[in-house]
Amino acid sequence: MDRRDFVGLAAGSAALSWMAPYAAFGFQGNAKSDEHKVSEIYLAPFRFDVTPPLGHGCCGNWIKPIEGYDDPMEAIGFVIMGAGKPIVVCSVDWTGLLNEAHVAWRTAMAEAAGTTADRVAVQVVHQHNAPFACLEAAKIVADQGVLPSMLNVDFFRRCLDAARISVSQAIHQGERVTHIAKGQAKVLEVAANRRIMGDNGKVRASRGSACADPSLRALPEGVIDPYLKTVAFYAGDRKLAACHYYACHPMSYYGDGRASSDFCGLARKRRQGDEPGCTHIYFNGCGGNIGAGKYNDGTRAMRPILAKRIYDGIVNADVDLKREAIEKVSWNTCDFLPPIDPRWDEAKIMAQIEDKSQSLVNRSRPAYTVSWIRRHAKSIPIVLSCLDINDVSMMHLPAECFIEYQLRAQQMNPERFLATAAYGDGGPWYIPTLQAYPEVGYEVSVAWSASEVDDILTSGIRQLLHTTV
């Protein structure tokens, strides 16, 4: 891997005009809202393949690299034109897009659509047999010389090229969109809370995406959001695009080196087959502490069963869809840069990465922490965003937020229909709640932010939703 590849990509993102000098401590603010009473708006769906090549590292490369293919992975999204500068929303079948890698995707799509990067939301579905793309972390690992590559930068660049081509072709084929509809349905026997609490108030076990322990699977679901939500766009009575939102880690099993969009992607593809004229897009909600482990023993047989349960949720939400004429559209943003937890010290982490006696995972994974620390030092904020159309809000949050954030957001403004997509910029890894920090557990052990993140994210969401509650 060539070091110059990384430098070139990073230099492109450093020139972004929306970068501003922020204090090195936690920051949230600079809220912007851009409302338009619309006469004519256009929707331009796009999609392109992002299946990694053979040998590509998966999930940061501490599980088996790609050895074969079960089904292709895609980036799917849409451009909205006619409500100020174009707005781009996209969902990608990858584990994560972090820091400069996320900025590079947003910048490429913004340039292709003729807009600014703060009007582009890129979210991932978070499958694990997939790239976990962070340019700085990959560079840190590559500089060690001996560690396996985390990210194939040539492949990453090809995906950026595909994004540019796909978006620039789509905007010439936009269709006038006249109506929107919203629907929701409960999904049965997929999501459950991963964190199993002990009597001492600490996490005693994790149910994970698959769980072989019947005693853990017998425990209640715990806090989840059982609803799959759908927002659909129409040209008259013709459905052009449908966005589906559900909060759960999307893996039935992984680590076998076979690329797949896994059960959530398979549900999306089945629905796409039912309705070829409508672009179906799947977003993962705040699934940081949510997995399928209660209902999934991790056997091969469970993947189609879980896919069918998500598909049934999509079909059932469809029954609810009632078209309403689009009257107003707004794009709301708020910058977000939570403080780093004082546990994380760059020099100490780098010493561990350089320590040849450490395991591969102990030398690779901390590169993501260092990357976030370095990004934070450059004061490059994450952009929280929300697309409002009539009384529907489609909110875009970063990283692995706990489910409580989307439940809380729904409470803030219950009059509105709120669909939440998390897993945007993955830089901070997990975003637990304040209450979860003293409970510890895996998610807290790999959260780069201090517990003040709860307050900062909650007030950012409040600004996006224009509420003081």
Of the candidates 57, 165, 148, 149, the one whose C-alpha atom is nearest the C-alpha of residue 109 is 165
Angle between helices 3-14 and 153-170 (to 10 degrees): 40
Which is closer to Zn ion, CB of 59 or CB of 387? 59
The residue (of 12 and 255) whose beta carbon lies closer to Zn ion is 255
Q: Which is nearer to Zn ion, 289 or 463 (CB)?
A: 289
- Residue 118 or 400: which CB sits closer to Zn ion? 400
* Distance between CA atoms of residues 446 and 132, nearest Å: 15
CB of 4 to Zn ion, least distance (A): 32
245: left (phi over 0), alpha (psi -120 to 50) or beta: beta
Cβ contacts of 107 within 8 Å, gap of 6 or more: 12, 13, 16, 117
d(CA 251, CA 238): 33
Pick from 283, 265, 245: which is nearest to 121 by CA?
283
Least distance to Zn ion, CB of residue 423, Å = 8
Smallest gap, in angstroms, from Cβ of residue 444 to Zn ion? 13
CA distance 402 to 355: 33
Q: How far is the CB of 392 from Zn ion (least distance, A)?
A: 27
**C-alpha angle 273/239/464, rounded to 5°?**
110
- Asked whether the beta carbons of 347 and 135 are under 8 A apart, the reply is no
Window of 27-35, 76-84, 346-354, 396-404 that interacts with Zn ion by CB under 5 A: 396-404
Span of 295-303, 345-353, 394-402, 412-420 interacting with Zn ion by CB under 5 A = 394-402
Smallest separation (angstroms) from Zn ion to the CB of 95: 8
Residues 51-63, buried b or exposed e (16+ Cβ, 10 A)?
bbeeebbbbbbbb
Q: Which stretch binds Zn ion (CB under 5 A): 54-62, 307-315, 398-406, 435-443?
A: 398-406
**Min dist. Cβ of residue 422 to Zn ion (A):** 10
Site string for Zn ion, 261-300 (x = CB under 5 A): ----------------------------------------
Q: Give backbone dihedrals phi and psi of 109, rounded to 5 degrees, phi first.
A: -70, -35
Is residue 321 within 8 A of residue 74, CB to CB? The reply is: no
Name the residue nearer to Zn ion (CB basis): 333 or 364: 364
Place of tokens 């599980």: 63
Which window, 145-153, 258-266, 393-401, 407-415, contacts Zn ion (CB under 5 A)? 393-401
Nearer to Zn ion, 129 or 393 (CB): 129
Scanning 68-76, 170-178, 337-345, 400-408 for contacts with Zn ion by CB under 5 A, the matching segment is 400-408
Q: Minimum Å distance from CB 201 to Zn ion?
A: 24
Q: Which is nearer to Zn ion, 119 or 194 (CB)?
A: 194
When the beta carbons of 5 and 400 are compared against Zn ion, the nearer one is 400
The piece of 103-111, 275-283, 395-403, 455-463 that touches Zn ion (CB under 5 A) is: 395-403
State the nearest-atom distance from the C-beta of 249 to Zn ion, in Å: 6
Assigned token pair, 195: 């964190």
Least gap, CB of 199 to Zn ion (angstroms): 27
Contact region with Zn ion (CB under 5 A), list: 28-36, 194-202, 392-400, 431-439? 392-400
Q: How many CB atoms lie within 10 A of CB 260?
A: 25
Closest distance of CB 251 from Zn ion, Å: 9
Of 126 and 271, which has the nearer Cβ to Zn ion? 126
Least Å distance, CB 206 to Zn ion, is 12
Tokens of 228: 């799959």
Question: By rule CB under 5 A, what count of residues binds Zn ion?
Answer: 1
> In terms of CB distance, is 296 or 413 closer to Zn ion?
296
> Which CB atom, from 81 or from 101, has the smaller least distance to Zn ion?
101
Closest-by-Cβ residue to Zn ion is 400
Shortest distance in whole angstroms from residue 400 CB to Zn ion: 5
Beta carbon nearer to Zn ion, 74 or 400: 400
Which residue stretch of 22-30, 188-196, 399-407, 446-454 sits at the interface with Zn ion (rule: CB under 5 A)?
399-407
Site for Zn ion in 25-54 (CB under 5 A): none
Sites of contact with Zn ion (CB under 5 A):
400
